Amino acid sequence: MAKPPKTLTNNLCKTLPEGRYRDAATPGLRLLVGKRARTFEFNAKIRGQIIRAKLGKMSDGVDINEARLRAQRARDRVDAGQQIDQTPTALSPDTVLSYTFGEAWDRYVRERLSTLSSGKESEGFVRHNALDHFKSLPLQSITRSDARQFSANLLKKVAKRQTEKQLALGKTPKPNVGHPTTRATHVALTTFFNWCIKNDLASINPFTGTMPEIKETIRDRVLSPEEIAIIMDALSDHQSPTYRGIIDMLIFTAMRLGEVTALRFGWINFAEKQIRIPSEHAKNAKVNIVALSDSALFILKACRTFAESDPDLQAPGTLDEAYVFSTGVNVHYSAESKDKKKLDELIAKLKPDMEHWTHHDIRRSVATRAAMNGTLHEHVERGILRHYPDKLTATYQVQPYVAHARTALMLWAEQVEQAQSAWEEIRRDVIWTNDNPEAYADMEKAGRERETLEGRIVGLKPNANGNGGEIIREGGSAIRAECDAAQSRYGRAHRGLKKRANLKLKHPNK
């Protein structure tokens, strides 16, 4: 009969008397102490079936850490539906050797990455660049030499692929092409192996200190209010209302893209005009408070009004857990790359020479403009960006500066609105010129005539009180008649063009 569970150690395993001992740290792991050997075994009842497997003997070099690793792998195999057709089922020692990269990665994604706001991005880098290469290899067999060679080859491969892509688009490849992708993949793999070591799946991290020389460039693209206005103008023609709302929120809150797409209605406090991002969804693993300007609040209220009419969200508590920006009932939005490409195409029609920008550039731009508007550095860093410069500051200065951030964001929203008005005037002029060249020419001619005629003033007839009066023009009534006619022609042309331009702005396809 097995003894009560206790946390086994290597020293304890060597001194225990005969009997069966359960490990309190790993469910299903037992140590069988006999007269001749000390053997680790896995014995557990899973989904009604008793699963047994011999994990190895201490005399063969299997210590408690290796036994725990093998026991966990045996459980994972059973959970995956493998070898459970007999009761009891005996798993061969080969099935419980060290994890393969692919098996450990699946567990890492399930237990760790799925809980992180940046997990999807890390998972993507490894899935696209490394998973096929390492998938079938045992974790313990991957060496530092393998890691170093893989990273060097990846850099060449990604650089070649991205260079060809940029040349096909008629662009000049950057000197560090491929470096950011290689670095991100290497960092993701390093973090993964650290997790494996912590969970007794591996004993070394082969990616530590093996990153190739990376020429990393710090992105410094800052969008002007005018460029933001152009983006919003193009956005009005975008076919995805979800993406339109997401970009508007990026502009008016400086949130990260992942934070906006993960946003749920239950996080929003409309009364306090703020969003509370739970620590498990925040990049810095802390509760984040996001200040909301009136513009951002208007967007969120509109989204909530729309969601409240959805019959699938009527059950109590359902709405609070629903995504604010979703492509279906509780469906996480994931089409940012496709929708961004469409937005770039729309922008190119308005301003072909606009420099490339990314979603994260908006966050940098809002912070930069806030600082330029006089917002204190600390309020920008802690209030808008929600960055904590060091552990000491984060521990003793917990003020989120929400009010200061809201003031800065309100001022930024006003600048954006002013830029939108200015851009609309510019675009209207473009429409006048491009879509109505003859009418525009007539208007210009009438305007010049009016200016010429109005300029032929020879004096001013005083009023009875001597304070100004009727303008006296050269030529008398004849000149006045010409001026009135020119004024009338200008007014008609101006009103007609403005009406057509406004119609074009509202209905660009007509």
62-65 long-range Cβ contacts below 8 angstroms, 24+ apart: 63/10, 63/13, 64/8, 64/9, 64/10, 64/13, 64/23, 64/40, 65/200
Q: Is residue 292 part of a domain?
A: yes
Specify if 62 maps to a domain.
yes
Verify that 351 and 474 share a domain, yes or no.
no
| Helix pair 241-253, 402-435: axis angle to 10 deg | 130
pLDDT at position 473:
46
Q: Would 288 be classed as within a structural domain?
A: yes
Do 261 and 332 meet the contact criterion of CB atoms below 8 Å apart? yes
| Nearest alpha-carbon partner for 126 in 213, 196, 26 | 196
pLDDT score for 387? 86
Regarding predicted confidence, which is higher, 337 or 424? 337
How do residues 211-249 score in pLDDT, each as one tens digit? 877 666 678 899 999 999 999 999 988 989 999 999 999
Average pLDDT, rounded, for the chain: 80
Domains: count for the chain = 4
Nearest to 350 by CA among 242, 228, 438: 228
State what percent of residues in the chain have pLDDT above 90: 31
pLDDT value for 280: 83
Same domain for 68 and 111, yes or no, is no
Q: Residue 316: helix, strand or coil by DSSP?
A: coil
Residue 166 shares a structural domain with residue 284 = no
* Same domain (yes/no): 264, 407: yes
Of the listed ranges 26-40, 59-73, 144-158, 467-481, the one predicted with least confidence: 467-481
Are residues 306 and 241 both part of a single domain?
yes
CA-CA distance, 480 to 470, in Å (whole number)? 12
Same domain for 14 and 72, yes or no, is yes
Q: In angstroms, rounded to a whole number, what is the distance separating the alpha carbons of residues 328 and 494? A: 46
Give the per-residue pLDDT at 216: 63
Residues 45 and 72 reside in one and the same domain: yes
Confidence band for 328, pLDDT divided at 50, 70 and 90:
confident
CA distance 221 to 99: 44
In terms of domains, do 311 and 385 share one?
Answer: yes
Tell whether 217 is covered by a domain.
Answer: no
Q: What's the average model confidence in pLDDT over 131-139?
A: 88
In a domain, 203, yes or no: no
Report in angstroms the alpha-carbon separations of 52 from 40, 49, 77, 98, 412: 11, 10, 12, 18, 65
Rounded distance, CA 246 to CA 250, Å? 6
Q: Identify whether 207 is part of a domain.
A: no
Confidence band (pLDDT; 50, 70, 90) for 115? confident
State the CATH number of the domain containing residue 251: 1.10.443
Same domain, 63 and 121: no
Mean pLDDT over residues 279-305, rounded? 89
Ramachandran angles phi, psi of 82, nearest 5°: -95, 135
Residues 270 and 140 in one domain: no
Which of residues 79, 96, 113 is at a domain's end?
96
pLDDT mean over 267-283: 91
Per-residue pLDDT band for 377 (boundaries 50, 70, 90) equals: confident
Tell me which of 157-161, 290-294, 467-471 is least confident: 467-471
Quickly count: other Cβ atoms within 10 Å of residue 100's Cβ.
Answer: 18
* Inside any domain, residue 263: yes
Query: In terms of domains, do 281 and 383 share one?
Result: yes
Q: Which domain holds residue 79?
A: 2-96
Report the DSSP beta bridge partners of residue 277. Answer: 288
Residue 44 has pLDDT above 70, yes or no: yes
Lowest-confidence segment of 61-75, 185-199, 375-389, 451-465 by average pLDDT: 451-465
Burial of 497 (0-12, 13-18, 19+ CB in 10 A): buried
| Same domain, yes or no: 186 and 247 | no
Q: Residue 141 pLDDT > 90, yes or no?
A: no
Average pLDDT value for residue range 355-376 = 92
C-alpha 353/C-alpha 345 separation (Å) is 12
Per-residue model confidence (pLDDT) at position 484: 62
Computed from CA positions of residues 411, 412, 415, 416, in that sequence, does the dihedral angle turn out positive or negative?
negative
Residue 284 lies in a domain: yes
- The closest alpha carbon to 186, from 163, 209, 160, belongs to 209
Higher pLDDT, 75 or 98: 75
Q: Are 405 and 291 in contact (CB under 8 A)?
A: yes
Out of 38-52, 262-276, 287-301, least confident range: 38-52
Domain boundary among 41, 66, 96: 96
Band the pLDDT of 100: cuts 50, 70, 90: confident
What is the band of 510 on the pLDDT scale with cuts at 50, 70, 90?
Answer: very low
